[in-house]
Amino acid sequence: MKNPFDIQGKVIIVTGAAGYLGRGYCKKLADAGATVIGWDHKQSEGSEQVDITDEAQVEKAVATVVKKHGRIDGLINNAAMNPWPGDPDADKQFVPYEDYPIALFRKEVEVNLTGTMIVTKHVAAVMMKQGSGSIVNIASEAGVAAHDHRVYKTPGRYKSPAYTASKTAIIGLTRQWAARAGECGVRVNSFSPGGVYNPAMPEDFMKRFGAMNMLGRMAEPGEYAATMQFLLSDASSFMTGANLVMDGGKTAW
């Protein structure tokens, strides 16, 4: 019996490939035999420089993939602006909402939501023409339930409202694309992960965050990477328009 999780030879694009989770997704899929094309807003080892908010650039990058490989079998829309504690460049994204800069809000929505739409638009067109393919949009537990700001030790810190708003919208965008692409045999699902262990984050924050779910810990990166293989393989062949939540039971309390 053929292994339904087999992705050997599949051509898969991963956006945000230079990020912490993106690198893990790329490695897991490549180790499983897929041909992985990583995109990121900055060029780095294992990823090509593609600005997903620039439609002309995305259209050209998609055409390049098709010209070289002849098809696109999978897409993970992973790129996003996601502030995390300990990142000095993201401090301005943790301010009270009444002080949140609208310019920054627009920028986050442009990357997280509009960028996902742009990439999906051009990749889905290829998949629909070939009659097959799987798209995974990375949403978040924050798209299912409000982020609890009490997890932050410092008073007056709040999760970016643009992050939560855009990730909630990703789930709706996924459903609409699933309705359209399903007519051509293409599947579109979203994935809502919980917090993931990252050694760059403050240890005390990770303990507090992990304690908020039923398993009492944050996820390990490899746990999410395996889920990507499931969603991109035939193991999920009758799954589309769904939002797969993997948050240690946090939103089930």
Q: Is 248:217 a contact under the CB 8 Å cutoff?
A: yes
Strands (DSSP E) contained in 9-165 are 11-15, 35-40, 48-49, 74-77, 134-138
Task: Kindly list the strands in the beta sheet with 74-77, ordered across the sheet, starting from the edge strand earlier in the chain.
Answer: 48-49, 35-40, 11-15, 74-77, 134-138, 187-193, 243-246
Alpha-carbon span 160 to 131, nearest angstrom: 38
Alpha-carbon span 91 to 105, nearest angstrom: 14
Q: Does the annotation mark 224 as catalytic?
A: no
Catalytic annotation, pick one of 25, 100, 163, 224: 163
Centre a 10 Å sphere on the Cβ of residue 95 and count the other Cβ atoms it contains: 15
| Of the candidates 226, 219, 223, 215, the residue with the CA atom closest to the CA atom of residue 250 | 215
Q: In DSSP terms, which residues pair with 138 in a beta bridge?
A: 191
Catalytic residue numbers read: 163
